[in-house]
Amino acid sequence: MAIQPKDLKLLKAFGEQVRSVRGSKGISQEKLAELADLDRTYVSGVERGIRNISLINISAIAKALKVSVGELMTDL
């Protein structure tokens, strides 16, 4: 199933939110990846909106950033 343009917009918005929260906490992509037990290139892809991230990985990133899943989903 191909990703639709509206879905790409959602992925980009989510990635920007992750990047914003990560930046506000002074955490590098590498450190976030380590804390979330993900590969750094995966985190980069999430932040650029090119990864269709799973709920499990959304939860791992939220825990690593010490925020709720809802905070990462705000204004999407």
User: Taking the model in full, what pTM does it have?
Assistant: 0.92
Q: Which residue has the higher pLDDT, 76 or 52?
A: 52
Express each pLDDT in 22-42 by its tens digit. Answer: 999 999 999 999 999 999 999
pLDDT at residue 75 in the model: 83
Burial 39-72 (b: 16+ CB within 10 A, else e): eeebbbbbbebebebeeebbebbbebbebeeeeb
